[in-house]
Amino acid sequence: MKTWNKRTKAVHAGIRRSQYNEVSEAIYLTQGFVYDTAEDAEARFIQAGEDEFIYARYGNPTVAMFEDRIAALEGAEEGFATASGMAAVNGALTAMLRAGDHVVSARALFGSCLYILEEVLTRFGVNVTFVDGTDLAQWEAAIRPDTKAVFFESVSNPTLEVIDIAAVSTMAHAVGATVIVDNVFATPVFSDAIAQGADVVVYSATKHIDGQGRALGGVILGTKEFIRGTVEPYMKHTGGSMSPFTAWMMLKGLETIDLRVRAQAASAQVLADGLAADGVLSNVIYPGLPSHPQAALALAQMGVGGTVLSIDAGTQAAAFKLLNALDIWTISNNLGDAKSIATHPATTTHQRLPDETKIRLGITPGLIRLSVGLEDAGDLLADLRAAIATL
Ligand SMILES: *Cc1c(COP(=O)(O)O)cnc(C)c1O
């Protein structure tokens, strides 16, 4: 399996067949498992074997299939599936940190990630230093001999800053810090984060892995030692595990993820090129555009610009007018979905942030995040152009 390419792994890796030899992965919709004898129960609680399960909060065959498949796809030794992307971010950080530890994090983060780093970790005595993630000098200055972990989104939500995984990892590893990357925007298809230096990769499976807006989920990926030794004990006792039904949906999502996200990224490039060439909007942000400050890094790191672009309509009133004029695009706050979704971060996903923080992060009043779906790219561009023309 190690020699298989990602597309093959996405379809076949991790499969566990029952005695019926079903083709499609079985859904083991059970919270518990029966032991033949009291001695068997005792033995399993002392040390459960590879295919032995105890309780669905600890593990379940359908969830294990998903964990093994996504780990194979990412090139990680192991994975732990979680109830949501935030359970994964929180689990990866809190499982390994304790009071007095120091963490360096990029400042440009998804609102809930920022909440964990700024509010939750600090409440338990973890010291967090925030840096501008694209400025390597700031990482260099902030990482100290006692830094335990660094955290960043490889492509930030919603301003699409691209962070140099290899360069930050080299600095972190020099002091023995663990590199935790929230890799949602890179997707497991375009990611090579572990080869580039990341120790731990976290996904919200809610996004491209499901890809059809059906369920919340997440996963923490890393070495066997980190996942089994650090993450699993924390997650299985604190309750953020993925449900078997969700795992089955995510397994099915992985079967088509390669085709979907390549089509979505190709359309995103068409839209970014088209809107940038029109020259009507004050700003078109897309890592696949030559005008993006980290365009070369994005291409080296992911090979593509990704499935999301952001545009600036100028003012909140103009952004709302544009959103309300859209016909095909859905106003919502998910991303990675088959349906193209337009989001106004300043008033929704990042509403909680003080105005000055929004401005510092580039979340301007006119900013609109566009998650490109699977519709025809020409239709999507025509819809956007018609909406922009109303301004
Ligand atoms: C959506 C998202 C999350 C949170 O995932 P949920 O599944 O909604 O909990 C975390 N990080 C990033 C970058 C995201 O886009």
Mutate to test the pocket of ligand 1, among 105, 109, 112 (most ligand atoms within 8 A of CB): 112
Q: What sign for the dihedral angle of Cα 21, 24, 29, 30? A: positive
* Mean pLDDT calculated for residue range 41-56: 93
The minimum-distance atom of ligand 1 relative to the CA of 184 is: 13
- Residue 350 Cα to ligand 1 midpoint, Å, equals 12
Q: Which run of H or of E encompasses 132? A: none
Q: Is the pLDDT of residue 2 over 80?
A: no
> What is the position in ligand 1's atom list of the atom closest to the CA of 216?
7
Q: Are 167 and 36 contained in the same domain?
A: yes
139 and 204 housed in the same domain: yes
Same-domain check for residues 158 and 134: yes
Domain that holds residue 74: 6-253
CATH number at residue 113: 3.40.640.10
Q: How confident is the model at residue 230 (pLDDT cuts 50, 70, 90)?
A: very high
Kindly state the helix (H) or strand (E) to which residue 105 belongs, with its residue range: strand 102-106
pTM, two decimal places: 0.97
Residue 179 shares a structural domain with residue 296:
no
* Mean pLDDT along residues 38-50: 94
Cβ neighbours for 107, distance < 8 A, ≥ 6 positions apart: 114, 130, 131, 132, 133, 360, 361
Closest residue to atom 10 of ligand 1, CA basis: 85
* Contact predicate 192/183, CB 8 Å: no
User: Can you give the pLDDT at residue 166?
Assistant: 98
Query: Do 98 and 21 lie in a common domain?
Result: yes
Tell me the per-residue pLDDT of 123-143, one tens digit each, with 9 for 90 and over. Answer: 999 999 999 999 999 999 999
- Domains held by the chain: number: 2
| Same domain membership, residue 284 and residue 207 | no
Residue 50's pLDDT band (cuts 50, 70, 90): confident
pLDDT of residue 123: 97
For residue 1, being part of any structural domain is answered with no
Q: Determine the distance separating the centroid of ligand 1 and the alpha carbon of 86, expressed in angstroms.
A: 6
Sign of CA dihedral 15, 20, 24, 28: negative
For ligand 1, pick from 90, 115, 116, 157 the residue to mutate: most ligand atoms within 8 Å of CB.
Answer: 157
Whether 117 is covered by a domain: the verdict is yes
Residue 299 shares a structural domain with residue 153: no
Beta-carbon count within 10 A of 356 CB? 8
Query: Looking at beta carbons, which pairs linking 294-303 to residues 24 or more positions away fall under 8 Å?
Result: 294/134, 294/161, 294/162, 294/164, 297/162, 297/164, 298/155, 298/162, 301/154, 301/162, 301/164, 301/165, 301/186, 301/192, 301/196, 302/155, 302/186, 302/190, 302/191, 302/192, 303/190
Phi, psi of 137 (to 5 degrees): -65, -35
Average pLDDT over every residue of 366-371: 98
Among 202, 223, 253, residue at a domain's last position = 253
Quote the ligand 1 centre to 92 CA distance (angstroms). 14
Is the four-CA dihedral 376, 382, 386, 387 of positive or negative sign? positive
One domain, residues 86 and 72: yes
Q: Is residue 177 part of a domain?
A: yes
Residue 289 in tokens: 């555009």
Same domain, 231 and 278: no
Please list, residue by residue across 128-164, b when 16 or more beta carbons sit within 10 angstroms of its beta carbon and e when fewer do: bbbbbbbebebbeebbeeebbbbbbbbbbbbbbbbbb
Whole-number Å distance between alpha carbons of 292 and 286: 6
What is the pLDDT of the chain when averaged over all its residues? 96
* DSSP string across 139-183: HHHH--TTEEEEEEESB-TTT--B--HHHHHHHHHHTT-EEEEE-
Give strand pairing partners of 129. Answer: 104
Q: What is the pLDDT of residue 34?
A: 96
Percent of the chain at pLDDT exceeding 70 = 100
Which of 86, 116, 160 has the most ligand 1 atoms within 8 A of CB, as the residue to mutate?
A: 86
Peptide bond into 287 cis (omega under 30): no
249 with 287, same domain: the answer is no
Tens digits of residue pLDDT in 171-203: 999 999 999 999 999 999 999 999 999 999 999
Asked if 127 and 18 sit in the same domain, the reply is: yes
Q: Do 205 and 66 reside in the same domain of the chain?
A: yes
> What three-state secondary structure class fits 225?
helix
The alpha carbon of 88 and the centre of ligand 1 are apart by a number of angstroms equal to 9
